[in-house]
Amino acid sequence: MTPYDDMAPPAKGSASTTPLVDGFGRTVTYLRLSVTDRCDLRCVYCMAEHMTFLPKAEVLSLEELDRIATAFIGLGTRKIRLTGGEPLVRKGMMDLIRSLSRHLRSGALDELTLTTNGTRLAEFAPQLAAAGIRRVNVSLDTLKPDLFRTLTRGGQVAKVLEGVAAAKAAGLAVKINTVALKQDNAAEIPDLIRWAHGEGHDLTLIETMPMGEIEADRTDQYLSLGEVRRELESFWTLDEIAHRTGGPARYVRIAETGGRLGLITPLSHNFCESCNRVRLTCTGTLHTCLGQEDATDLRAVLRAGATDAELMAAIRGGVDAKPKGHDFEIARRQPAVARHMSTTGG
C-alpha cells in the first residue's frame, strides 16, 4: 500500500484527462525514469573513471519518484522504463517497482520495464517477474571476459551472463543492447548477434553518442551502423520488418539466425518527428530531448509542496516546450550536451 493507492481517479475535464501533447503535436506516452546516478561499473563511453556522485539529498526519494511517475501516468503515460546509473543498485528499488506495479494491475500503464547492466539480475529476476515486469533490456558490449573488464573498468561478464540466464528462467523477455565500438567490439558483433539470437533474445546495436565529458576521444570509437549493416549483409540476409517502438530503433530480421536486430542510429538518422518520450533525471529534472539542454525542475515543484494538479501543470509546461529535434554531431568532437548518460538515463 502506498500513499497514492487511494488517489481519486481524475475528474472529467481536469488537467489529467487531456493527453500530454507537445508544441509540435507529438503525444508523449513514454517516460524514462532515472532512479540513481550511481553504478557498479564504469563503462568507458559512459562514465569517467573517478566519478563524483550526487549527494543523497539531491536525488529524488523513492516516494518522490513514485509521485512523479504517478503524475505522468495520470497524464497518459503508458510505458515507463526505469534506468540510471544502474537501477538495480538503488536501495529499495524493488519497493518502488512493486509500488509502481499497481498501475499495471489497474490497467493505467501498459508496461513497466528497466534497462540494466545485468550484474545484479540473477538476484532480482524472480522478484521482477513477480512484480509484473515482462521485459528487461540488458546492456552487453562483449562476451569476452578480458574485454568486458576493460570496457567496464573492472566488471565480470560471467555475472551478466548469469543474470541474463536468470531473467530467461524467470520468464522475462530479454533484449541485449550493444554499443558499437570501432576498436573494441566491431569484429565481435556477428558473434554477439549469433549468441543473443541463439538464446532467443533480440539484440539492438547503438551508435556512440556524444554525452558528457569523458577522458577518451570518442570519435575514435564511433562506428557507423550503416557500415556494420553493410558488413552483416555480406554474409547474412537482413529483411526489413515493420516493428517500431516510437523510438530511434529500426528493426530487421536476420534470415539465418531467425532473430530480430535493432539499429539505433541517433547520429546518422533523424527520428525526432515520431518521438513519444521524455526523460526524468534522478534529481527530478525533466528533459524532453536527449540531445538538447531544455530542462524543467520538477523536484523544486515537488519540494515546494505542489498539489497533484500543480505537479501535472509543471509537467505539461515542460512537455509543451519539447524541442523539435536533437543536435548531435560527432564531427564537432564536443559533447552535444554536458550531462552524462548515467545522469539522464539512457
The residues in 10-49 that bind ligand SAM, with binding defined as CB under 6 A, are 39, 45-46
At 217, give phi and psi (nearest 5°): -85, 105
CA 85, CA 47: separation in Å to the nearest integer? 10
CA 277, CA 248: separation in Å to the nearest integer? 11
Instruction: Kindly state whether residue 157 participates in binding ligand SAM, applying the rule CB under 6 A.
Output: no
Stretch that binds ligand SF4, among 39-47, 72-80, 156-164, 215-223 (CB under 6 A): 39-47
* List 31, 41, 59, 302, residue binding ligand SF4 (CB under 6 A): 41
CA 68, CA 60: separation in Å to the nearest integer? 10
- All three cell numbers of 285: 529534472
Number of residues that bind ligand SF4 (CB under 6 A): 12
Instruction: Kindly state whether residue 85 participates in binding ligand SF4, applying the rule CB under 6 A.
Output: yes
92: left (phi over 0), alpha (psi -120 to 50) or beta: left
Q: Which ranges constitute the DSSP H helices of the chain?
A: 62-74, 93-100, 102-106, 121-130, 145-151, 157-169, 189-198, 225-233, 298-303, 308-320, 341-344
Instruction: Kindly state whether residue 266 participates in binding ligand SF4, applying the rule CB under 6 A.
Output: no
What single letter denotes the amino acid at residue 254?
A: I
Stretch that binds ligand SF4, among 83-91, 156-164, 212-220, 320-328 (CB under 6 A): 83-91
Instruction: Kindly state whether residue 117 participates in binding ligand SAM, applying the rule CB under 6 A.
Output: yes
Burial string for 176-205 (b: 16+ CB within 10 Å, else e) reads bbbbbbbebbeebbeebbbbbbeeebbbbb
* List 115, 221, 285, 288, residue binding ligand SAM (CB under 6 A): 115
Count of positions (residues) in the chain: 346
Nearest-approach distance from CB 279 to ligand SF4, in angstroms: 14
**Contacted by 47, from ligand SF4, ligand SAM, none: CB < 5 to 8 Å by type:** ligand SF4
Residue in the shown chain whose Cβ atom is closest to ligand SAM:
346
Instruction: Kindly state whether residue 113 participates in binding ligand SF4, applying the rule CB under 6 A.
Output: no
- DSSP secondary structure string, 133-148? --EEEEE-S-S-HHHH
Nearest-approach distance from CB 309 to ligand SAM, in angstroms: 32
Nearest-approach distance from CB 123 to ligand SF4, in angstroms: 16
What single letter denotes the amino acid at residue 204?
A: T
**Contacted by 232, from ligand SAM, ligand SF4, none: CB < 5 to 8 Å by type:** none
Instruction: Kindly state whether residue 113 participates in binding ligand SAM, applying the rule CB under 6 A.
Output: no
Instruction: Kindly state whether residue 172 participates in binding ligand SAM, applying the rule CB under 6 A.
Output: no
Instruction: Kindly state whether residue 265 participates in binding ligand SAM, applying the rule CB under 6 A.
Output: no
Instruction: Kindly state whether residue 84 participates in binding ligand SF4, applying the rule CB under 6 A.
Output: yes
- All three cell numbers of 154: 573492472
Residues 315, 316, 318, 319: what is their CA dihedral angle, to the nearest 10 degrees? 110
At 260, give phi and psi (nearest 5°): -100, 135
**Contacted by 42, from ligand SAM, ligand SF4, none: CB < 5 to 8 Å by type:** ligand SF4
Do residues 266 and 326 make contact, with C-beta atoms less than 8 angstroms apart?
yes
Instruction: Kindly state whether residue 140 participates in binding ligand SAM, applying the rule CB under 6 A.
Output: no
* List 139, 152, 265, 296, residue binding ligand SAM (CB under 6 A): 139
Q: Which of 15, 57, 52, 20 is nearest to 37 (CA)?
A: 52
Our CB check for ligand SAM shows the closer of 34 and 99 to be 34
Instruction: Kindly state whether residue 308 participates in binding ligand SF4, applying the rule CB under 6 A.
Output: no
Number of residues that bind ligand SAM (CB under 6 A): 19
Binding site for ligand SF4 (CB under 6 A): 39, 41-43, 46-47, 84-86, 117, 139, 342
Binding site for ligand SAM (CB under 6 A): 39, 45-46, 83-84, 86, 115-117, 139, 177, 179, 206, 208-209, 211, 341-342, 346
